[in-house]
Every structure is written in C-alpha cells, then in structure tokens.
Amino acid sequence: MHTIVQVDQYIINSVEFAIPILDHLRNLVHKADARIEEKIKWGMPFFDYKGTVCHMASFKHHCAFGFWKGALINDEYGIFKERSESMGLLGKIKSFDDLPSDEILIAYIQQAIQLNEDNIKRPSKPKSTEKKEIIVPQYFMEALQEDPAALAVFQNFSPSNKKDYILWLEEAKTEATRLKRLETTLLWLAESKTRMWKYKK
C-alpha cells in the first residue's frame, strides 16, 4: 500500500465527522488495487495509477469523492450525483449513509483504473464559439456563499474578472498560499475590487 504522510495529515486536519469517512474511502481505494499511489494535488488527496484515478476532499459540512474519468465510467448503479464532461462525483457525503456499498465503490475504482491501463483519454471538449462557462472551484463557491457581499460582487463581474480570481487561487502552489489568497480575494470582492485593481489606472 503506497500511502503518504501528507494524506494522513489531510485526514487528521479535517472536520471531525469527515475523518472516518475519508479514512474509509482511502482504504477502499487501496483495497481496489494495491498499486495505487497517493498524491496531494490542488490541496487535496488524489489517487493515481498510470494517471489520475480518483480524488477525495473534505469541507466544513461534507466530503466529496470523484472519479477523474467519470464521464467514461459505466454508472450502472447510478451512484453519480453530478457528472460533468470529465468528473463523476458522488455528491455531498455527510455520513456513511451517503456512500454506495464498498463492493460497488471498489468496482467503480477498478473500472477507473482499467480506463488508465487501456490508455483511454478523457473526452476532449469540443472547441466552441459559445461563451465558456466559468467553473468556480467548490472551496471558492463555499467561501463566497458564506460572504454575501463578496458573492454579490463576484456574480456581477465580467467573465474575465471572474477568471482572474479563479486562476490566481488555482495557481497557488500550497494550501497555505491558497487560503491566504482566498482571504484576500473575499476582502477585495467585498470592496468591489477586481483582481488587477492595483494595476488599473
């Protein structure tokens, strides 16, 4: 079992209710395939074998578990609550009751590994002339929902102004940097400032 200390720390530092859930999910992933390796990407645990297989995260009131190639997985048990072009997500996990059975989850993890073994790529997005919808990361959305003033300003921003903030947050190399940037973002948004306000004459 290839485990790393950073994932141990991530789990230990999570909210109390999330610790046993994350621990369980992690064990299931390794049970599904002993070759899986752990990594921390974008501040959360990812599980890799010949590419990304799945990931998990914890927030204040729920956990999340998703498959990197969710769009390609045969969801025969209907466990995906959200399914974008790339991800298959199990929705908000607040307790063990929100999880499918261990056998089903293991089968899906093995299916995701098989996709990597067969070198099947995620579907590439068709180039479109339509305005691209901006994907707001979950942690940013949750922070905004707790700060109505910042949320109101953000919602009225132009797509490029929204993108500036999202890229700045996503490019943070460490969790600490990202949290610091998130704090600054909320502060500036509450003051109706764009990310580049300092450089604008």
Domain layout of the chain by residue ranges:
5-117, 138-199
DSSP 81: S
Average per-residue pLDDT for the chain: 89
CA 161/CA 64 separation, integer angstroms: 28
Backbone angles phi, psi at 199, to 5 degrees: -95, -5
Higher pLDDT, 131 or 92: 92
Least confident range of 54-68, 132-146, 154-168:
132-146
Structure tokens of 30?
């390794």
Instruction: Calculate the alpha carbon distances from 105 to 16, 20, 39, 169 in Å.
Output: 23, 16, 20, 31
DSSP 14: S
For residue 126, the model assigns a pLDDT of: 58
Cβ–Cβ contacts within 10 Å for residue 197, how many? 11
Report, as an integer, the average pLDDT of 125-154. 77
Confidence band of 132 (pLDDT split at 50, 70, 90): low
Q: Is 162 helix (H, G, I), strand (E, B) or coil?
A: helix
For residue 85, the model assigns a pLDDT of: 58
For residue 37, the model assigns a pLDDT of: 96
pLDDT over 60 (residue 131): no
pLDDT over 70 (residue 125): no
CA 40/CA 57 separation, integer angstroms: 11
Cβ–Cβ contacts within 10 Å for residue 81, how many? 13
For residue 149, the model assigns a pLDDT of: 85
Question: Which alpha helices (DSSP H) does the chain contain, by range?
Answer: 5-12, 18-32, 102-117, 138-145, 148-156, 159-170, 175-190
Cβ–Cβ contacts within 10 Å for residue 135, how many? 12
Report, as an integer, the average pLDDT of 155-175. 89
5-117: CATH topology is Aspartate Aminotransferase, domain 1 (3.90.1150)
Structure tokens of 176?
């600490």
